[in-house]
Structure 1
Amino acid sequence: MFTFLVGIDTDEQRARTQAETIASMPLESDNVEVVLVHAFSENREGGTVEQVKSVRVAQSRLEEAGIEVRPEGYGGDAARAILNVADNHNADQIVVAGRKRSPTGKVLFGSVTQSVILDAERPVLVCSGDE
């Protein structure tokens, strides 16, 4: 079984791009599992990962391709959640979506994608966030 760990934020287009990238790979869908991870920065109302529209978008596209999907939600730092869940599932590859930021924006606000790339101990696929 080949396991992808996909970090999903709230952007539906990035989630769609990530799912489409995996679905378009020449894989045997019955030998692939995708774990969709969404990190809640704040979840005061007790929402579930299934309520996040971008997660539903990615899950729907992957299931259309016949791929087994498991959504998981975590609180706290998104990069740390992605890396921890990848370790817990012994993921074969991490899939994230980048977004355009100015160099100043990266310094001030950090970058989940950058942190995952630098700290991952497994391959990381970065999909374009654009259509």
Structure 2
Amino acid sequence: MTLDTVLVAVGPSDADRYERLGEEAIDICGPADATVVLAHVFTEEQFAETLDRLEIEPNAEEATPGNAARRHTTTRALGKMLDEAGLAYEVRGGVGDHGEEIVSIATDTNADLVIVGGRKRSPAGKAVFGSTAQEVMLDAPCPVTFVRADTK
């Protein structure tokens, strides 16, 4: 299997684990010379709050999920890591259910691999990775790598 495109799912709760996601993307994509797609998905409410925070009018031409994703702090930090590693990347944004949108972006970009992050769970929570990660693992059109941020 060749890796041409690797999608890295970035969400609102990834601010504290973006470095692990970036390291994993660099470790996988560097040797393969693959393009990284940073995909940031917002709920409707998160998107509206982000536009407000960025002082973008909701009906303005630049009020797109992609523009909001490119300007998001976590996405910019990941982009800087990828730049420093010499990897090509693009940023995609989506609005809706996180898992469904990630799968949709993976399909649209013909991703060969999806990288999603998560946290260590309690014994009861181990049965389910988390609704977003689980949905992506079950529905993605390609293999999925789950990156656990905390190793304790």
TM range (shorter): 0.7 to 0.9
Show the 5 A alignment for 1:108-123.
111-123=131-143
1:28 positional shift: 4.1
| Contact 1:12-1:57 within 8 A present in 2 as well | no
User: What's the TM-score, normalizing by structure 2?
Assistant: 0.74
Runs of 4+ in 1 over 4 A off after TM superposition: 104-107
The residue that corresponds to 1:80 in the other structure is 100
Cα RMSD over matched residues?
A: 2.3
Q: Larger relative CO (CA 8 A, sep 6+): 1 or 2? A: 1
Larger Rg: 2
Q: Specify whether residues 64 and 112 from structure 1 end up closer, same or farther in structure 2 by C-alpha distance, changes over 3 A only.
A: same
Deviations 1:9-28 (A, max 9, x none): 12223221111112123734
How many residues end up aligned between the 2 structures? Answer: 128
- Please point out which of 27, 33, 44 is paired with 2:48: 44
Give the gaps of 5 or more residues in structure 1.
none
Equivalent residue of 2:18, what SS? helix
- Please point out which of 12, 23, 26 is paired with 1:23: 26
Q: Using the alignment, how far apart are the partners of 2:17 and 2:80 within structure 1?
A: 14
Equivalent residue of 1:118, what SS? helix
- Please point out which of 37, 44, 57 is paired with 1:35: 37
Q: Using the alignment, how far apart are the partners of 1:40 and 1:13 within structure 2?
A: 17
Give the gaps of 5 or more residues in structure 2.
55-67
Q: Using the alignment, how far apart are the partners of 1:96 and 1:78 within structure 2?
A: 11
- Please point out which of 6, 12, 34 is paired with 2:15: 12
